[in-house]
């Protein structure tokens, strides 16, 4: 992979991870604040965990490049 391509992918992944980290606070404590059901938070954390795991797996595939 060319250096320019790799640099662009790194920037995109950093932006994605920052959004993911910010959403870890914003969604449960701001968007889901008015919902009294615990299931909403558990559903969010499940989706968050799957997104974080898949992102980590995808990022580590670039290490060989």
Global pTM reads 0.74
Digit-coded pLDDT (tens) for 8-33: 888 999 999 999 999 988 888 888 78
| pLDDT bucket at 65, cuts 50 / 70 / 90 | low
Q: Residue 33: give the domain boundaries.
A: 3-64
What sign has the CA pseudo-torsion 21, 27, 29, 30? positive
- pLDDT (tens digit per residue) in 36-54: 777 788 888 899 999 999 9
Sign of CA dihedral 38, 44, 45, 46: positive
Predicted local distance difference test score (pLDDT) of residue 1: 66
pLDDT given at position 55:
93
Cα distance between residue 13 and residue 35, in whole Å? 31
Count up the domains in the chain and report the number: 1
Residue 6's pLDDT is: 80
């Amino acid at each position: 992979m060319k250096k320019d391509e790799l640099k662009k992918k790194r920037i995109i992944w950093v932006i994605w991870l920052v959004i993911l980290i910010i959403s870890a606070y914003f969604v449960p404590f701001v968007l889901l604040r008015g919902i009294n059901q615990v299931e909403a938070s558990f559903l969010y954390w499940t989706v968050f965990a799957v997104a974080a795991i898949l992102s980590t797996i995808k990022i580590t595939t670039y290490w060989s490049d």
